[in-house]
Amino acid sequence: MTERKEFRDLAEPDAARDAIGSLDLVPEPEPVPLADARGRVLAERVDAGIDVPGFDRASMDGYAVRARDTFGADEADPVELDLVGAVHAGATPEVTVEPGTCAEVSTGAVMPDGADAVVMVERTDEVPSEGDSTCIAFRTSVAPGDHVMAAGADIAAGARALGPGTRLTPREIGLLSALGVDEVPVRGRPRVGIVSTGDELVRPGDELDPSSGEIYDVNSTTIAAGVSEAGGEPVLYPHAGDDYAEMERLLREAADECDLVLSSGSTSASAVDVIYRVIEERGELLLHGVAVKPGKPMLVGRLDRADGGESAYVGLPGYPVSALTIFRTFVAPAVREAAGLPEPRTATVEGRMAVRERYGEGRLRLMPVGLLDLGGGTAADGPAGARERPLVYPVDKGSGATTSLVEADGVVAVDPDTEYLDAGEPVTVRLFSPDVRPPTLLGVGEDDPAVNRLLDRLENPRYLPVGSREGYRRLRDGVPDVAVTAGPTDRAVDDAVLGEWQREWGLVVAAGNPEGVEGLGDLVDRDLRFVNRPTEAGLRRGLDDALEALAAERSASLGELTDRIDGYGLTLRAFESPVRRVLAGDADAGLALRETAERLDCGFVPLGEQPVVVRAAADRVDREAVTSLADELDGDGIATLIEGLSGYSA
C-alpha cells in the first residue's frame, strides 16, 4: 500500500509568500518591435538620440517675422511688412526674412532664416501695395520666440527619455515614435507552464463521460487567463493523469521551457497523489500545505532543469475556486513582480455583512462574497454613511463549485481567530479585479425558464437559483432585492408583488410513456425509479402537497407513501436535471415542468399548476433596478415573457 502524504504542520500564509518570493521567476530582457510594446515594461533607460523637434517650428498658422520689426504695433497703429513668400509643413524654406519683411507659415512648418517669432493670422490684414508685391499689416507686437517651438524644446538629444521599469502605454509609445525608435528593450514576460493533473479531467471540446466521474478541465484555461492578466506568458501542456512517470515527464519538460511551472490537482493527502514525490526526487520541496481556506494543499518548490538551472514550481489545489484563489493571493503578485508590473490599483470595497456567518476553523479563510450596492453613502461619509455601505453576502458553494467564480465579486479575509462575522459588521472586500461590476439587482429563488428570460432583459443582474423556500428566507433576512417563489408560500415578510404567472408541473417520462405512468399512485404502488427535486424547490412543495392529499385518500401518512417511492430522496437542484436522467434511461419518472419535458422531447403526466410570483423587498421597490424589473412585468410584459413556453399562462 502506498503511504499517504498527510498535512501535519501547515505553514502560515506569510511563510507561503516568503517561499514563493524566494523563487527566481525573472526572465531575461528581450527586444520587441515598438508596435508590439504596449503594456510591456522597459528593461533599460532610453535616451533621446535626436532633438524633438529637430528644427525651429511654427506652432500656429500666421506669419514668420523678426520680432523687432513688430515693436510698437497695435490695433490703432499697425506695422506693415512686405510678404516675401510662404513655408508649409514638411517643406524646406526657400525664403529668408530680412528686416522689413515677413513670410507666411503654417503650423508645423520650419521657421525660415532670419525669423524668430510668429504672429497669428487672426492679428493681421493684407493691405494694398504698389506693383506685384503684397504687404501685411500687423496689429500686435511679438517677442522673440513667440509661437515658435525651438529645436529640442520637446526633448533634446542626449536627454533621458524613459527610465527602466516604465510601463509602455500609448503616451510613452508616442514619445518613442517621435524619437524614431522602432525597437525597445523590455522586461521578459515570465513563461509559466500550466499542467492540470488527475485521471478524471477532460479537455473542453473532447467527449465527456460523466458516468465514470469525468469532468472538464477548468483550471488550465482559468489559470492561463490569470497568468496573462498578471503579465506572464502562459504555456499550456497536455493533460497529465495520476501516473508518476507521465507527471515527471511533463513537469521536467515544462521546467526546461518555463520560468515557473504551475500544476493543479494531485497535491492533497491521497494515495494517488504523487506529484509531491516528483518534486522531492527531481528538485526541492520548500512547502507542502498552508493554513488557508480554500487552498490548504499547496506546494512550493524548485524543479531541476536539463541545463543545470532551476525552474520555480507551485502546485495549486485541484478545485477551481481553490486554485484561482491561491493563484491570485500568492502566485499572481510574484508573476507581476517578475514581469516588472506594479500591483494593480487598489481594488477594495468597504461593506457590511448582510447576514451572520459562522467560521472558527482556526486558519485564514478567504471567503468568496458578493456585493450589492444599495447606494446612499460610503465609509467616508461618517457613521451615517457607513450604515449604507454595500451589503456583503457569502457565496460559498464549496471549492468544487465553478459557479462561485462568477457569482462572487471578491473575497473577505477572515482571521483564523474569528468565530463569526455578525450581520451589519463592517468588512473589507478585496475585489477579484478593479474592473469588477457588482450587480445592479440581486434576485434569488426558484429556477424557472421564464425567470431566465426575464433576466436577459435587465442590465447586469445576478440571480441565485436557491429555490423558493430558501429564496423567501433570504428575502426575509433582507439580503436580495427580489425573490421568485413558486407554489404556496406562508407570507411572513413585508414584500411587494411585481408580477405573477402560472406553470404546469407533473411527471416527466420517456417519450411515448412506455411504463404507462398515469399519476402519483403509480410511483407509490409500482417498482418505478423516480428522481425528485430538493425541498427548497417550488415543484417539491407541489409534489408533497399532492402526496399529502393522496395519503389522506388512502388513510395513510405521508411518510408511508414516500417510503414506498423508489428515489423520493434522490434530489437534483436544476429544473432540467430530472428530465435528463429520464432521457438517459436512469429513471422511469421525474418531477418536472411541462415546458422542460416537451422541449427535450419527453412524455409528460400533468399533476397540476402552480403560481410563480416575483416579489420585491418592500423597502427597495423604489430602487431603479427594481422599478426596471417591474416595468418588464407591467402591461403585456408577462404575456410576452411566457410566450411560447408550454404549460405557461398569465
Q: What is the mean pLDDT of the chain?
A: 88
**CA-based nearest residue to 218, from 265, 250, 260, 259:** 265
614 torsion bin: left (phi>0), alpha (psi -120 to 50), beta (else): beta
Query: DSSP character for 290?
Result: B
Close Cβ partners of 125 (under 8 Å, ≥ 6 residues apart): 78, 136, 137, 139
By the 8 A CB rule, do 419 and 360 touch? yes
Work out the average pLDDT over 109-120.
96
Work out the average pLDDT over 425-433.
90
Percent of the chain past pLDDT 70, that is, above it, reads 92
Domains of the chain with bracketed CATH: 13-26+190-339 (3.40.980.10), 57-149 (2.170.190.11), 348-431 (2.40.340.10), 440-650 (3.40.190.290)
Look up cell 412543495; give the residue: 541
Q: By three-state DSSP, how is residue 447 classified?
A: coil
| Cα atoms in the 13 Å half-sphere on the side-chain side of 482 | 32
Residue 567 scores a pLDDT above 90: yes
Between residues 421 and 573, the one the model is more confident about = 421
- How many angstroms separate the CA atoms of 612 and 598, rounded? 19
Residue 145 scores a pLDDT above 60: yes
- How many angstroms separate the CA atoms of 142 and 153, rounded? 19
pLDDT of the residue at 111: 97
Dihedral of alpha carbons 327, 331, 337, 340, sign: negative
- How many angstroms separate the CA atoms of 251 and 270, rounded? 20
pLDDT of the residue at 452: 92
Grid cell listed for 500: 405573477
pLDDT of the residue at 384: 39
Is the pTM of the predicted complex or chain greater than 0.85?
Answer: no
Grid cell listed for 577: 436535471
Residue 194 scores a pLDDT above 80: yes
pLDDT of the residue at 241: 66
Q: H or E stretch including 256? A: helix 244-257
Grid cell listed for 327: 493563484
Q: Could you tell me the pLDDT band of residue 78, with boundaries at 50, 70 and 90? A: very high
Between residues 43 and 346, the one the model is more confident about = 43
SS (H, E, C) 175-189: HHHHCCCCEEEECCC
78 φ/ψ angles, rounded to the nearest 5 degrees: -65, 160
Diameter of the chain by CA atoms? 125
496 φ/ψ angles, rounded to the nearest 5 degrees: -120, 130
Q: What is the tens place of the pLDDT at every residue in 411-422?
A: 899 998 888 899
Between residues 606 and 476, the one the model is more confident about = 606
> Is the peptide bond between 99 and the residue preceding it cis, with omega within 30 degrees of 0?
no
Work out the average pLDDT over 356-375.
85
Q: Could you tell me the pLDDT band of residue 90, with boundaries at 50, 70 and 90? A: very high
**CA-based nearest residue to 355, from 336, 365, 369:** 369
Residues paired with residue 609 on neighbouring β-strands, in sequence order: 504
Q: What is the tens place of the pLDDT at every residue in 231-290?
A: 999 999 987 766 778 888 888 999 999 999 998 876 544 433 567 778 888 889 898 888
Dihedral of alpha carbons 539, 541, 542, 544, sign: positive
Q: Could you tell me the pLDDT band of residue 379, with boundaries at 50, 70 and 90? A: very low
- Out of 31-40, 195-204, 244-253, give the one with best mean pLDDT: 31-40
Q: Which amino acid is at 73?
A: A
pLDDT of the residue at 59: 94
Q: Could you tell me the pLDDT band of residue 2, with boundaries at 50, 70 and 90? A: very low
pLDDT of the residue at 270: 47
Work out the average pLDDT over 98-122.
96
Q: H or E stretch including 62? A: strand 62-65
Residue 193 scores a pLDDT above 50: yes
